[in-house]
């Protein structure tokens, strides 16, 4: 009942959905960039703009947190959740930045697989975050979190396979340096999605 009296800005659920929405925007734009091998200034700027919006959303949450007496769940969980969602968007932006600097404009089948996994995982993260609004239907949260964990394992195996192949095939050490970092970064996005899922899962258990 009480939350009816709170001003609209106090709605952390709206803020979290907004923030995770930007992470998904980044993942979708990333997939587009990778599938086309399009690292044009315009495409890269799109990702940067999304990252900037995500940053602002994170700031709004922290500002809200620092000025709210009542929060829907523990303050440290709100902090952790914002930080991890922010890290997802940041990492995607970092990868695109690195690919630009390294001039990795040739489409790579392997990266396309990672981009698919990342989009799928971030979509599940959005689901899990949405689920926090109504913990009575917690099954959808649990299902999303389990699937995010599974995708992280798939990502691990993909990275191992791709790196083994890279070291086998690529004779140019400079190319190895570049691609090794990019593939490891791509897998890191899935790690961070798993971190978000852990935070959501732990909030869910506490509220149960």
Site for a second copy (CB under 8 A): which residue of 18, 113, 133, 180?
A: 180
Size of the site for a second copy (CB under 8 A): 23
Q: Which stretch binds a second copy (CB under 8 A): 31-39, 98-106, 125-133, 136-144?
A: 98-106
Site for a second copy (CB under 8 A): which residue of 114, 158, 178, 182?
A: 178
Look at the block and give the residue holding tokens 């996005």: 189
Q: What is the DSSP string of the chain?
A: -GGGGS-GGG-HHHHHHHHHHHHHHHHHHHHHHHHHT---HHHHHHHHHHHHHHHHHHHHHHHHHHH-S--SS-HHHHHHHHHHHHHHHHHHHHHHHHHHHTT--S--HHHHHHHHHHHHHHHHHHHHHHHTT-GGGTHHHHHHHHHHHHHHHHHHHHHHHHHHHHHHH---HHHHHHHHHHHHHHHHHHHHHHHHHHHHHHHHHHH-
Letters for 21-60 (x = contact with a second copy by CB under 8 A, - = none) are ----------------------------------------
Site for a second copy (CB under 8 A): which residue of 14, 38, 134, 164?
A: 164
In the complex, the smallest distance separating the C-beta of residue 99 from a second copy, rounded to whole angstroms, is 11
- Nearest residue (CB) to a second copy, 28 versus 176: 176
Site for a second copy (CB under 8 A): which residue of 62, 112, 135, 154?
A: 62
Residues that bind a second copy (CB under 8 A): 62-63, 66-67, 76, 97, 100-103, 160, 163-164, 167, 173-174, 176-178, 180, 202, 205-206
């Amino acid at each position: 009942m009480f939350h009816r009296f709170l001003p609209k800005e106090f709605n952390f659920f709206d803020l979290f959905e907004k923030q995770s929405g930007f992470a998904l925007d980044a993942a979708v734009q990333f997939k587009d960039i990778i599938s086309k091998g399009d690292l044009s200034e315009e495409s890269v700027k799109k990702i940067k703009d999304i990252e900037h919006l995500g940053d602002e959303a994170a700031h709004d949450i922290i500002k809200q947190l620092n000025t709210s007496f009542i929060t829907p769940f523990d303050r440290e969980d709100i902090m952790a959740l914002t930080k991890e969602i922010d890290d997802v968007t940041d990492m995607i932006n970092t990868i695109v930045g690195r690919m630009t600097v390294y001039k990795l404009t040739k489409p790579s089948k392997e990266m396309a697989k990672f981009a698919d996994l990342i989009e799928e995982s971030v979509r599940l993260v959005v689901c899990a975050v949405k689920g926090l609004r109504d913990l009575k239907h917690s099954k959808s949260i649990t299902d999303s979190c389990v699937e995010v964990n599974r995708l992280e394992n798939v990502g691990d195996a993909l990275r191992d396979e791709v790196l083994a192949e890279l070291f086998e095939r690529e004779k140019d050490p400079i190319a190895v340096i570049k691609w090794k970092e990019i593939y490891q970064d791509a897998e890191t996005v899935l790690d961070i999605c798993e971190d978000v899922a852990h935070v959501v899962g732990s909030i869910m258990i506490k509220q149960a």
